[in-house]
Amino acid sequence: MTNDEMTRRSFVGMAAAGLAAATVTTDAQQQVVEMNVDIKTPDGTCDAAFIHPATGAHAAVIIWPDAFGLRQSMRDMGKRLAAENGYSVLVVNPFYRVAKGTVYPNAATVDFNAERDKLTPLMGSINAAGTVEKDAPAFVAWLDSQPQVDKTKKIGVQGYCMGGPFAVWTAAAAPERVKAAATFHGAALVGEEETSPVKMLGQTQASFLFAIARNDDRTAPGDKDALKAAATAAGRPAEIKVYRGDHGWTVADSPAYNYDEDDASWARLLELYSTAL
């Protein structure tokens, strides 16, 4: 095992435990700054984490968390993008309309069924209209006002589980700025509604990565084909792949976390950003 792999596994282990990962510097990393920020939207004020290299201006990335919201594991994704890859990253609280801050510090300790009465109103507080018309334009405008963001470069967006559709909707809300969108075990990407992500690819100018969990594919085996057909019809470049991990495999504090498959899908994310941004 290489030193980088040892550092990465230690980092993931701390995130899975709900702990702030220690700052580790290697030759491939750079010092980063993390700050809590507030962003005005038409519906109020969204709290978020802004993480960026300590010096310079860089391409921006927006992270939409899963159903457990803004927490350490999502911040750690932003730190990894900033430290190892030099992006300025905004990790948003998707539930700011009804809850501020961290609602669930560690997804590994949450019983989804027991928490359903709490999760349902959180997840229901944001939809396609809110993302396309309100949140995404506000986030993009805020990023473009920051000196740590290089506005000559394009913006990327990535979403996890329920955040998957938000990644597509963000690309549709700001097509001139968002040129790369990735979903990881994204939920409800294919549907009959006009706002279904599969029907909105033509409203974007982005390249896509749809990373699908193997158990999600077993449940809805036609979704990958529908996404491929929609991307082809819209003329959008898209990589659509089923990974050997179950739903949640990319999130360090998920019971389904899969280190090797996370590294494999992360590499594809970085390839997408390097070519599209």
Q: Three-class SS string for 173-238?
A: HCCCCEEEEEEECCCCCCCCCCCCHHHHHHHCCCEEEEEEEHHHHHHCCCHHHHHHHHHHHHCCCE
Distance, CA of 230 to CA of 160 (rounded, Å): 20
Better-predicted residue by pLDDT, 20 or 187:
187
Number of domains in the chain: 1
Instruction: Look at residue 10 and tell me whether its pLDDT is greater than 90.
Output: no
pTM of the model as a whole: 0.92
Residue type, 110: V
pLDDT band at 12 (very low <50, low <70, confident <90, very high): low
- Domain containing residue 95: CATH number: 3.40.50.1820
pLDDT at residue 29, as a whole number: 79
Residue 156 is part of which domain span?
Answer: 3-276
pLDDT band of 9, cuts 50, 70, 90: low
**Confidence grade of residue 28 (pLDDT, cut at 50, 70, 90):** low
